[in-house]
């Protein structure tokens, strides 16, 4: 009797965590919920009927400067989209009819940074987004009218800007910025949603006199990078904000930033290449876990943080899962930062010979000034910035993994504020002995074992979406958007959307009908540009169109 | 008194740049970024551009036309003519062209005054990143850096004491939703009112519904309270910089 009671309690607490992580009718956040699972509890579309899935509407944004990278946000039957040049749309989520649009003024020529935007946030009756010229902007959610905007840093000086979706937490909107590959000192900034006033700023790199500053050589902390350039997560029960921080700068050359005689099995260049937990009200650091001590490969821990509750070695744990560009994936206790497990996803890995159970890197092959070494995977990432998904039904993470290598040659160019400070040349190529460039994997974060893997001939750079219909959706550069069986990886359905995939997908429902929405359009800059040089004979089409699918309605 | 009336106007951002230096800046912002050509064309993913033996005509062709099927886009419409010529000239210097053609419209604008030691220190202090929102450039744009919240500096105060006592008649008191705040009004029209809320740094540009905000002259806001992170010696250096930078 007692035993039964214990079991049912565990089931309940587990069910509560699952409630917090899954979306339902709405898709309110960049990562689905603030637990960042990219998982919908909707199951109208399932493994049996998915073959009937058909496009029901599409929306051409008209902004073809770059692709559509956004993950659509849906609330109460209204969808919110942002394009590369920060044109914002509110659409009827059932029909695609435009309700309002807002065009952010084009920044003046000479403002540095890439054209691109990965998403917006909603909350407090407002729509929030960041811009190329480094403003945080708030619009009225009902009308699209500008309410306030505030400059975060002069983009011309810092060489930084905002491409990530902000995160709304209670009465604040919180955002990270780019600049992790530049001579810049990264930070996360929180503003009050009501009036745009500064709430707090947390610098990734501690200043003189602050704990952690001693992990930097001389003045190198001033230009040490670490920019947290993606979107974090939030656990309301712990009131903790979780964010991944970027690599230290210079990326590939550490002689100017690492103190003499530093032990590479301990923290170096804090708090770069880390997962951090911040008090959501004050921005104060509660704990940190550095994944790569002295990151010399641009492994860049800036990626998404998935908050999951799982039984690990017999105990229910409040955990988080975090992957960096190396493909090393840490499972941490999200209350304390304690390491619970670690595994690595790429099949070809040459920069280390392995990683121990307690997260120690074995056999590091350090880059050397003036020497060219082949490194696998690459700075483009075993996974790129696009997000993985997690299904509480299967317990698997769904991850697009790329198998590339780079010929890395570091240099020792001096930093100039706000300018590129990567200090390396790293042309990329297919990993030796392979014929396929990527695979979609299912990983069990508790065992660190791969459950299945589906190869793909080119690279995969779009986010994943998992649903309670036991389906996993994503798209490829050739334009195909497809559904896999979450349990087996078998491809059950696909649709040619006409342009490559480099954005996010979401699921939502209006009046009881489930929809799957995906951003389309290959892109010409950063990794997409690099991919173009790898596959010169491929015609991967640019574009900026949202495509929405549903099951056919019964004919009346 | 005489100093105060001698109004020194702010000049435009590109006030003192040679075409090669300008090309270097354009290159840093448009070509060296991310996974592209890297610092000084040393490569950062895209091909190396330095020391490749490219001549100026070839560079011009590639920059204006792009290379179809690669990540190299055409910059013919994304860069101004002057920036394009400047960046082509700069890349030519990376390829051993000692004296590249810079036949741009603003060749005459070449080589402005060099900042003296004290002014150079002031220029640094004006926008020093470690000061976050406590630096001058949070509200003032000078020499191509900073956010122009306050608009161009019309007069450089004669002394640190004058800077601290600076009168700010444009700062008013705004009242919105029952809250009073120091404001700088940008426009007050039928469609709405655009103003800066100066309650805390950084200033927030706000767009109020018609009739939802009222303004009265005067404010408790003081310029001296937002420059408190600088000591007198630092403020003096900044004033020295401003005297040089805002010369017509």
Residue B69's pLDDT band (cuts 50, 70, 90): low
Mean pLDDT in residue range A210-223: 97
Task: Say yes or no to pLDDT of A18 above 70.
Answer: no
pLDDT at B77: 67
Residue B100's pLDDT band (cuts 50, 70, 90): confident
Mean pLDDT in residue range A281-290: 98
Query: Of the given ranges (A383-397, A449-463, A534-548), which has the lowest mean pLDDT?
Result: A534-548
The number of helices, as runs of H, and strands, as runs of E, in chain A is 3, 39
Among A150, A153, A184, select the one facing B205 at the smallest CB separation. Answer: A150
Dihedral over Cα of A8, A13, A18, A24: its sign: positive
Share of chain B above pLDDT 70, in %: 84
In angstroms, the CA A422 to CA A251 distance is 5
Q: Which residue of A has its CA nearest to B141?
A: A154
- Comparing A351 with A553, the larger pLDDT belongs to A351
Residue A406 pairs in a beta bridge with A375, A428
Mean pLDDT in residue range A454-474: 97
Q: Could you tell me which of A363, A377, A354 has the C-alpha nearest to residue A297?
A: A377
**CATH architecture of the domain with residue range B19-109:** Orthogonal Bundle (1.10)
Among A198, A420, A426, select the one facing B201 at the smallest CB separation. Answer: A198
Mean pLDDT in residue range A26-54: 98
Kindly list the residues from chain B whose CB atom is less than 8 angstroms away from the CB atom of residue A422.
38-39, 44
φ, ψ for residue B238, nearest 5 deg? -65, -40
Mean pLDDT in residue range B98-123: 69
Contact state of B83 with A536 under an 8 Å Cβ cutoff = no
Residue A531's pLDDT band (cuts 50, 70, 90): confident
**Which candidate in A26, A298, A441, A470 is catalytic?**
A298
Residue B11's pLDDT band (cuts 50, 70, 90): very low
Query: Of the given ranges (A106-120, A185-199, B94-108, B233-247), which has the lowest mean pLDDT?
Result: B94-108
pLDDT at B1: 34
In angstroms, the CA B16 to CA B144 distance is 10
Residue B110's pLDDT band (cuts 50, 70, 90): very low
pLDDT digits (tens, 9 = 90+) for B220-231: 999 999 999 999
Mean pLDDT in residue range A64-71: 94
pLDDT digits (tens, 9 = 90+) for A289-309: 999 999 999 999 999 999 999
Whether pTM exceeds 0.90: no
**DSSP codes, A310-351:** EEETTEEEEEEEEE-TT-EEEEEETTT--EEEEEE--S---S
Q: Look over chain A and give the mean of its residue pLDDT values, rounded to a whole number.
A: 94
Contact state of A536 with B199 under an 8 Å Cβ cutoff = no
Task: Say yes or no to pLDDT of B61 above 80.
Answer: no
- Comparing A403 with B92, the larger pLDDT belongs to A403
Mean pLDDT in residue range A479-494: 98
pLDDT at A270: 98
What Å distances lie between residue B229 and A205, B136, B226, B232, CA to CA?
20, 10, 8, 10
pLDDT digits (tens, 9 = 90+) for A132-153: 999 999 999 999 999 999 999 9
In angstroms, the CA A169 to CA A334 distance is 17
B233: CB partners within 8 A, 6+ apart: none
pLDDT at A59: 98
pLDDT at B113: 59
The domain segmentation of chain B, as residue ranges, is: 19-109, 117-165+224-245, 171-221
Question: CB-based burial of residue A185 (10 Å sphere; 0-12 exposed, 13-18 middle, 19+ buried)?
Answer: buried
Q: Could you tell me which of A435, A428, A502, A440 has the C-alpha nearest to residue A471?
A: A440
Q: Which residue of A has its CA nearest to B204?
A: A150
Q: How far apart are the first and last CA of chain A?
A: 53
Task: Say yes or no to pLDDT of A14 above 70.
Answer: no
A298 as an active site residue: the answer is yes
Among A196, A427, A530, select the one facing B204 at the smallest CB separation. Answer: A196
Task: Say yes or no to pLDDT of A374 above 70.
Answer: yes
CB A383 within 8 A of CB A400: yes
Q: Which CATH number is correct for A2-550, 2.140.10.10, 1.20.120.450, 1.10.3720.10, 2.30.42.10?
A: 2.140.10.10
CB A431 within 8 A of CB A376: yes
How high is the ipTM of this complex?
Answer: 0.93
Q: Which residue of B has its CA nearest to A111?
A: B29
Task: Say yes or no to pLDDT of A361 above 70.
Answer: yes
Triad B71, B74, B76: Cα angle to 5° = 160
């Amino acid at each position: 009797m007692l035993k039964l009671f214990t079991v049912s309690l565990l089931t309940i607490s587990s069910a509560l965590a699952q409630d917090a992580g899954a979306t339902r009718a709405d898709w309110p956040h960049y990562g689905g919920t603030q637990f960042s699972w990219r998982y919908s509890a909707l199951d109208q579309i399932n493994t049996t009927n998915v073959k009937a899935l058909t496009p029901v509407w599409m929306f051409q944004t008209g902004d073809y400067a770059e692709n559509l990278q956004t993950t659509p946000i849906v609330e109460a039957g209204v969808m919110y989209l942002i394009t590369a040049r920060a044109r914002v749309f509110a659409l009827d989520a059932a029909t695609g009819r435009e309700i309002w649009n807002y065009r952010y003024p084009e920044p003046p020529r000479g403002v540095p940074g890439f054209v691109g935007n990965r998403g917006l946030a909603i909350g407090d009756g407002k729509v929030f987004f960041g811009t190329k010229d480094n403003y945080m902007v708030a619009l009225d959610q009902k009308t699209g009218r500008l309410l306030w905007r505030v400059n975060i840093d002069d983009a011309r000086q810092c060489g930084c800007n905002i491409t990530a979706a902000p995160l709304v937490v209670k009465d604040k909107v919180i955002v990270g910025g780019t600049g992790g590959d530049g001579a810049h000192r990264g930070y996360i900034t929180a503003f009050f949603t009501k009036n745009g006033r500064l709430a707090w700023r947390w610098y990734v790199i501690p200043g003189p006199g602050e704990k952690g500053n001693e992990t930097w050589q001389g003045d190198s902390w001033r230009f040490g990078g670490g920019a947290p350039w993606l979107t974090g997560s939030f656990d309301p029960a712990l009131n903790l904000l979780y964010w991944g921080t970027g690599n230290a700068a210079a990326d590939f050359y550490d002689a100017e930033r690492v103190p003499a005689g530093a032990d590479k099995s301990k923290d170096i260049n804090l708090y770069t290449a880390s997962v951090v937990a911040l008090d959501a009200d004050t921005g104060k650091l509660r704990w940190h876990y550095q994944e790569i001590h002295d990151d010399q490969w641009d492994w860049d821990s800036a990626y998404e943080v998935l908050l999951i509750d799982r039984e690990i070695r017999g105990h229910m744990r409040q955990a988080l899962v975090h992957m960096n560009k190396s493909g090393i994936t840490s499972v941490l206790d999200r209350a304390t930062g304690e390491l619970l497990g670690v595994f690595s996803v790429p099949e070809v890995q040459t920069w280390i010979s392995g990683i121990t159970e307690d997260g120690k890197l074995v056999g590091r092959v350090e880059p050397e000034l003036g020497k060219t070494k082949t490194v696998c995977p690459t700075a483009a990432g075993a996974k790129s910035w696009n997000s993985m998904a997690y299904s509480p039904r299967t317990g698997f993470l769904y991850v697009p993994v790329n198998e590339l290598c780079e010929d890395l040659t570091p240099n020792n160019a001096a930093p100039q504020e706000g300018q590129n400070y990567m200090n390396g040349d790293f042309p990329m190529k297919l990993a030796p002995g392979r014929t396929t460039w990527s695979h979609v994997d299912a990983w069990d974060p508790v065992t660190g074992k791969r459950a299945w893997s589906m190869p793909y001939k080119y690279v995969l750079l779009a986010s994943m979406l998992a649903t309670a219909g036991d389906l996993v959706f994503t798209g490829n550069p050739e334009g195909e958007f497809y559904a896999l069986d979450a349990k087996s990886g078998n491809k059950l359905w696909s649709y040619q959307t006409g342009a490559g995939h480099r954005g996010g997908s979401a699921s939502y429902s209006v009046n009881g009908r489930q929809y799957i929405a995906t951003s389309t359009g290959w892109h010409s800059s950063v990794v997409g540009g690099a991919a173009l040089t790898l596959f010169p004979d491929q015609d991967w089409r640019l574009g900026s169109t949202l495509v929405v699918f549903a099951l056919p309605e019964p004919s009346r | 008194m005489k100093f105060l009336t001698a109004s020194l106007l702010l000049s435009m951002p590109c006030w003192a740049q040679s075409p090669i230096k300008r090309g270097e800046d354009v290159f840093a912002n448009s070509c060296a970024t991310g996974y592209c050509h890297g610092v000084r064309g040393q490569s950062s993913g895209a091909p190396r551009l330095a020391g490749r033996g490219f001549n100026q005509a070839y560079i011009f062709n590639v920059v204006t036309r792009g290379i179809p099927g690669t990540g190299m886009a055409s910059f013919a419409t994304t860069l101004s003519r002057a920036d394009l010529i400047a960046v082509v000239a700069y890349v030519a210097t990376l390829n051993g062209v000692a004296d590249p053609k810079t036949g741009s419209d603003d060749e005459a604008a070449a080589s402005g005054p060099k900042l003296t030691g004290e002014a150079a220190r002031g220029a640094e202090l004006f926008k020093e990143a470690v000061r976050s929102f406590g630096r001058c450039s949070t509200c003032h744009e000078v020499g191509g850096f900073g956010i122009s919240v306050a608009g161009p500096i019309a007069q450089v105060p004669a002394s640190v004491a004058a800077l601290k006592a600076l009168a700010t008649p444009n700062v008013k008191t705004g009242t919105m939703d029952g809250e009073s705040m120091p404001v700088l009004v940008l426009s007050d029209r039928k469609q709405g009112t655009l103003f800066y809320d100066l309650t805390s740094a950084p200033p927030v540009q706000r767009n109020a519904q018609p009739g939802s905000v009222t303004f009265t002259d005067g404010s408790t806001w003081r310029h001296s309270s937002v420059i408190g992170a600088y000591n007198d010696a630092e403020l003096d250096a900044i004033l020295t910089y401003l005297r040089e930078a805002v010369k017509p």
